Amino acid sequence: GAHLLDGLRTAIAEVGGRAFAKTAEKSAKNDARIRAHVEPESVLRELTESQDVLMQSIGPPGRCRYLVVQPWEEDICRANEFRLVISAWQVVGITQQTWSRCVGHTPESASAAATPLLRLWYEELIGVCPYADCTIDEFVVGDVARLIEVNPCGLWGASGSGLFHWLHDRDALSGAGPVPVRVVVPRPDKFTLSPCALGAP
């Protein structure tokens, strides 16, 4: 207990005194509003109060058992965070990162975000990313996208798929046509997918 708290305290200091924290596999963002941590106790409280994190963390021996502590990025919010699905080094899908609700997007805002998101991958990340298949989390401020993290495997692993479904959207994520961009809009419009199109029973 004390050793973990001391380690977290040191890690928070090393990233500037305000930190984002998650387990090796998951953050608490699906259960709570993520906040900057300045004390180790708040990290543990946030993670242990998240049913999502606890369910992901309980499993067979040998799973990753460490915490990730990163500098807090003030500009990241639900409305500007996106996930890119990468397959064979190509962007095959873009989705808002918050999959459970509308965060204020319109078709126009989604289209405007796509350009810097694609630019970051094709002009900066593709040459240094070791994974041909992955999901990339990015955020957009103005017309500039910045990297949050890279999640290995993507289509072939356990990475979250955002507003896509790994099985039902195989054709949409094939890379054969335009890159699909999915966001939740306040009201259905001509771009809105029906439950049938999403594979719902």
Q: Which domains does the chain have, with CATH numbers?
A: 2-71 (3.30.1490), 78-182 (3.30.470.20)
pLDDT of residue 33: 79
pLDDT of residue 67: 83
pLDDT of residue 133: 93
Contact by Cβ (8 Å): 94, 120: no
pLDDT of residue 5: 92
Contact by Cβ (8 Å): 91, 84: yes
pLDDT of residue 192: 77
Report CA dihedral (49, 184, 92, 159) to the nearest 10 degrees.
Answer: 10
**What burial class does residue 96 get, using C-beta atoms within 10 Å of its C-beta: 0-12 exposed, 13-18 middle, 19+ buried?**
buried
Q: Length of the chain, please?
A: 201
**Which residues in the chain come in under a pLDDT of 50?**
none
| pTM for the structure as a whole | 0.80
The tokens describing 144, both together, are 């500039």
pLDDT of residue 191: 77
